[in-house]
Structure 1
Amino acid sequence: MRTRLPEPLSLGITTNGIRLKRFLPQMRAAGLTNINLSLDTLEPAKFPFLAGRPLEWHARIMDVMHEVAAQEDCFKLKLNCVLLKGANEDEIGAFVDLTESLPIEVRFLEFMPFDGNSWSANRLVPQADMIEAFQKHLEVKGLPRAERLPPDSLHDVARLWQVPGWKGRIGVISSMTDAFCGGCNRLRVTAAGELRNCLFGEEGWSLLEKIRNGASDEALVSQVGDAVQRKHSKLGGKRDMFELRERGDKALPMIALGG
């Protein structure tokens, strides 16, 4: 199917990385090229608080980060960090420093409303503050300012920067204060086999159920096409981040949606 597409299909996975290392060979064989690794802190002591997972997992995630980065000929690695005021915004500089020697894209995400994450606008670190923080960090270290990069494609969701001469890049995803929805072409399949056309959408389509019922490739393509046609122009049909907060149990948790 990929050979009939006008451009190569980009396959990626969003993961916490805990069991990723053992599956990397299978992922290479399956043609997966993009890995989004979720990590909100570089400080082990903060990890249980921010991730709600055991302290020992932090070392495993750091290990797999370096393992994937070493396989840059096979994978493009993006490190997703959701910033929270008073929790991890003080680590912006440390995350940026990873891009000096590692071929990764460190991506800072604005805090988004999802089921069960106690979202509040007061905890959100806006895009402008992120940029000011990493530029100030570089200035204090006597380094040149990070330079704005053009997008890799019209569908990029991150605004990109790079410190001259450094191996990696910095991305900022401003879903709340400066939504990028107009150019987004992403579709997501949850671990339960449900297709979602938007992180903030309230409707899903079970591809797994159709496959188990013997649906043909044509029927699956038709279902995907229908989902694409129903994609809203912005924020899953909501007006702003405050209306997103009112979705209640219609908002799946981020752990079910991926990034």
Structure 2
Amino acid sequence: MVQRREPTARQVRLGVELRRLREAAGLNAVEAARLLGLNRVQISQIESGATGVSEQRLRRLASHYACTDEEFVNALVGMATDRTRGWWEEYRGLLPTSFLDLAELDHHATFLHEVAILYVPGLLQTEGYARAVLSGRVPELTHDELDLRVHHRLRRQQITRPYKLVIHESALRIRVSDRATSRAQLTKLLELSEADNITLRVIPFDLDGFSRAADTMSYAGGTVPKLDTVVRDVPHGSAFIDSEAQLNVFRTRFRKVEAVSLDPEQSRDFINRLTKEL
């Protein structure tokens, strides 16, 4: 087994799911290793994402773990045998790994749900808006670092899967730069809202009873619901959340926020009015 120096978030997730299956079966690492003729260290490396696992071994483990969810096992096999080297690999060693993990998550997602309260999400930002947001980072980025991050963010914007965004009026009104940048950003949102795969809804300031102002979130759908992922911003980058209990919480949060927002047509009218004010 070749040991990976720095496993991706997707490789780590595969290991986490195998560990969860093992624990649900009531087996320890030594017992699981014995099933495959391996040792405990090798099982630990597989479960940490440090080494890969073949389809044959994965299916044997799933069988020994009494996992009868064939769709889920097939999805895990897909993760284990995937050899995709996406465009984000060009940035390895140049950007923090969290940037690459986000791009990989986007690429494999079956759908994306997002709630934005203070900023327009990166997947929909103009270059000027992205540059303004990233230039406000502390510690300050060098010119080359800023260019690299802006370029990476714009390359992430290849949205082909269904994408639902609920955005608060505050994110539409806050001027991260100047009036022209804000106008260009709102215009881009209007254009993107016409795409068949993008649904954009607005939460206006005057909405009664909006108590979920802290619910900024990005939710990426997996090939099966058990492999969904929530991304939350944290001081050191991005945190990936994948426990079933937490995923259920965020699914409910999104439904509630979406339910109180304006419908897509009303939202476009709302953004159009804001654009004319600038």
- Judge same fold: TM > 0.5, yes or no: no
Normalised by the length of structure 2, the TM-score is: 0.28
Max Rg structure: 2
Between Structure 1 and Structure 2, the one with more helix by share is: 2
Between Structure 1 and Structure 2, the one with more strand by share is: 1
Normalised by the length of structure 1, the TM-score is: 0.29
User: Taking CA–CA contacts closer than 8 Å with sequence separation of 6 or more, which of the two structures ends up with the larger relative contact order?
Assistant: 2
